[in-house]
């Protein structure tokens, strides 16, 4: 059995290719069933997101497995042929496949390193595979390990602790100014996408009150309904700033909407309680002179982008630690998979020699009916002892060498030496096991079998 992955991602394929291969959640079960219907495909998990479509599978043969899965991916969208897909696909097997899965789960292969969404998407994909019974011992172990590795990375590194988007950088700065965002009020001036996204992040971090104003009153009402906030007339937003702890400005105005005097007046009315202002507008809508107002904290789009660049550099440093963790976990998982390869061989070898021993003991005891029960036990014990001593070193060597580079060769050699892939009866026929004369003792057996032996002895004398 071999673990492989075939897929494409934002690194190898444009969005127009990715969106064609994307499998909706409602069709995942059907797709998995179709995947595992291909000859030689034993297990499968399908991970389909906006940035990647990947098939993780356990197959009988690597090369044919690659071909089957590429065919499966082409079949998910009939307008794409295998030839069109090939330039965008990547293929991994063994430790590379395991390492890729671990890196994906830990968000080391994501467009934004450290993002948390991919782990949830992997969990969902795994749950669907479990529900449709398309996983087995290998896939269950490896995917669960990938989830564990991702959790370890988040626990032991700071890969997800700093903001790497402009909108979330604004939230990160707000949390530095206000240690607790609970019960804070945000005023959203304008309806720019980054400002709206920042508002969503602020709400998720505890902000309870949202006030919204735009030049179009109905737009403000619609946004207020969306955020569970309160619409404010545009010509009154400066008065509303007094109650706002955080002011997010994102309009298309070509001039300053808020001056240093406006902010000074607001701070005075707030009793010098701090106010945090974020200007995501281009051109800027807040006069940079606001920075000189005590208890007013102003950040514009360049400040936020600089913050993001610093945070990305920090994440890359943390990613290096995470990569080392992935390597450690891959080694352990590969060793486990190799143990799966040797276990059936050891079991088969033990079964084969026990079968041979039992058959031969029964033949001998059938001709020694005069033996007492105690003597019969001695004969059986002697046979078991000889067999155990003969195969002991083989068993020890197989277990010791399975994790070495020559491990598979040792397994193959054992299977060939002991004919473990053929029925015992076939081995007996080829080895002449039907000849029972070597077990006959003086006084037992026919004269036809005894006479040749006597002639040999006489000739020797």
Helix, strand or coil, per DSSP, at residue 96: helix
> Rounded CA gap, 149 and 122, in Å?
13
> Rounded CA gap, 419 and 288, in Å?
83
> Rounded CA gap, 261 and 62, in Å?
71
Burial of 298 (0-12, 13-18, 19+ CB in 10 A): buried
pLDDT at 119: 94
pLDDT at 150: 95
Nearest to 227 by CA among 268, 267, 185, 269: 185
**Is residue 50 annotated as part of the catalytic site, yes or no?**
yes
Q: What is the pLDDT along the chain (461 residues), one digit of tens a residue?
A: 799 999 999 999 998 888 888 888 889 999 999 999 999 999 999 999 988 999 999 999 999 999 999 999 988 776 777 788 899 999 999 999 999 999 999 999 988 788 888 999 999 999 999 999 999 989 999 999 999 999 999 999 988 876 567 777 888 888 888 878 888 999 999 977 777 888 888 888 888 899 999 999 999 999 889 888 999 999 999 999 999 999 999 888 889 999 999 999 999 999 989 999 999 888 899 999 999 999 999 999 898 888 888 878 888 889 999 999 999 999 999 888 877 767 777 788 888 888 888 988 888 888 888 889 898 899 899 989 998 898 888 878 877 776 666 666 777 777 788 787 766 555 544 444 334 444 344 444 433 333 444 333 343 34
Q: Which of 50, 382, 396, 455 is catalytic?
A: 50
> Rounded CA gap, 173 and 169, in Å?
6
In the chain the first and final C-alpha atoms are separated, in Å, by 60
Residue 407: alpha-carbon gap to chain centroid: 26
> Rounded CA gap, 459 and 461, in Å?
5
Q: For 326-330, which contacts have Cβ atoms below 8 Å and span 24 or more sequence positions?
A: 326/99, 326/102, 326/103, 326/106, 326/108, 326/149, 326/153, 327/99, 329/102, 329/145, 329/148, 329/149, 329/152, 330/95, 330/98, 330/99, 330/102
**Residues ≥6 apart with Cβ < 8 Å to 127:** none
Q: Which residue's structure tokens are 């002011």? A: 247
> Rounded CA gap, 74 and 8, in Å?
12
CATH of domain 166-309: 3.40.50.720
> Rounded CA gap, 275 and 434, in Å?
97
Enter the tokens of residue 324: 């080392």
User: What ranges do the domains of the chain cover?
Assistant: 2-156, 166-309, 331-460
CB–CB of 384/357 below 8 Å? yes
Enter the tokens of residue 134: 């398309």
The b/e string for 2-25 (b: 16+ C-beta within 10 A; e otherwise) is bbbbbbbbeeebeeebbebbbbee
Strands (E), 284-419: 296-300
> Rounded CA gap, 98 and 145, in Å?
10
> Rounded CA gap, 165 and 307, in Å?
9
> Rounded CA gap, 423 and 49, in Å?
48
The topology under which CATH files domain 2-156 is Beta Polymerase; domain 2 (3.30.460)
Enter the tokens of residue 169: 């950088």
Residue 19: alpha-carbon gap to chain centroid: 21
| DSSP character at residue 390 | H
- pTM here is 0.61
Enter the tokens of residue 180: 């607790």
> Rounded CA gap, 176 and 173, in Å?
5
Distance (Å) of CA 258 to CA 176, 223, 253, 290, 374: 23, 22, 11, 9, 105
| DSSP character at residue 286 | B
């Amino acid at each position: 059995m071999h673990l492989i992955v075939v897929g494409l991602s934002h690194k190898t394929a444009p969005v127009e290719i990715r969106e064609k291969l994307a499998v909706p959640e409602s069709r995942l079960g059907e797709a998995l069933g179709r995947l595992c219907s291909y000859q030689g495909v034993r297990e499968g998990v399908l991970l389909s997101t906006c940035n990647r479509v990947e098939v993780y599978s356990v197959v009988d043969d690597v090369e044919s497995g690659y071909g089957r899965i590429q065919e499966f991916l082409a079949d998910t969208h009939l307008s794409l042929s295998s030839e069109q897909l090939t330039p965008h696909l990547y293929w991994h097997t063994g430790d590379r496949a395991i390492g890729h899965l671990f890196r994906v789960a830990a968000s080391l292969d994501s467009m934004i390193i450290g993002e948390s969404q991919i782990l949830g998407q992997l969990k969902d994909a795994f749950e669907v595979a479990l529900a449709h019974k398309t996983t087995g011992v290998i896939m269950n172990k490896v995917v669960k390990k990938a989830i564990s590795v991702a959790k370890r990375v988040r626990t032991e590194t700071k890969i997800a602790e700093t903001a790497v988007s402009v909108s979330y950088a604004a939230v990160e700065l707000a949390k530095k100014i206000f240690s607790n965002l609970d019960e804070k009020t945000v005023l959203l001036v304008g309806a720019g996408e980054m400002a709206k996204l920042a508002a969503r992040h602020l709400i998720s971090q505890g902000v309870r009150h949202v006030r919204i104003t735009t030049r179009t009153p109905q737009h403000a009402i619609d946004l207020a309904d969306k955020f569970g906030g309160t619409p404010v007339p545009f010509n009154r937003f400066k008065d509303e700033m007094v109650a706002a702890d955080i002011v997010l400005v994102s309009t298309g105005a070509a001039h300053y909407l808020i001056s240093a005097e406006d902010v000074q007046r607001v701070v005075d009315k707030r009793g010098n309680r701090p106010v945090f202002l974020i200007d995501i507008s281009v051109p800027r809508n807040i006069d940079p002179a606001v920075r000189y107002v005590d208890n007013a904290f102003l950040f514009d789009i360049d400040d936020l982008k600089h913050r993001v660049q610093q945070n990305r550099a920090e994440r890359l440093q943390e990613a290096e630690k995470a990569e080392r963790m992935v390597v450690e976990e891959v080694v352990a998982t590969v060793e486990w998979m190799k143990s799966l390869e040797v276990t059936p061989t050891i079991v088969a070898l033990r079964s084969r020699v026990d079968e041979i021993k039992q058959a031969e003991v029964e033949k001998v005891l059938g001709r020694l009916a005069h033996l007492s029960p105690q003597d019969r036990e001695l004969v059986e014990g002697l046979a078991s002892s000889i067999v155990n001593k003969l195969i002991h070193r083989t068993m020890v060597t197989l277990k010791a060498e399975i994790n070495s580079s020559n491990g598979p060769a040792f397994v193959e050699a054992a299977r060939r030496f002991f004919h473990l892939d053929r029925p015992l009866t076939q081995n007996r026929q080829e080895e002449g096991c039907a000849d029972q004369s070597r077990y006959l003792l003086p006084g037992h057996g026919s004269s036809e079998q005894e006479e040749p032996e006597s002639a040999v002895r006489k000739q020797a004398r």
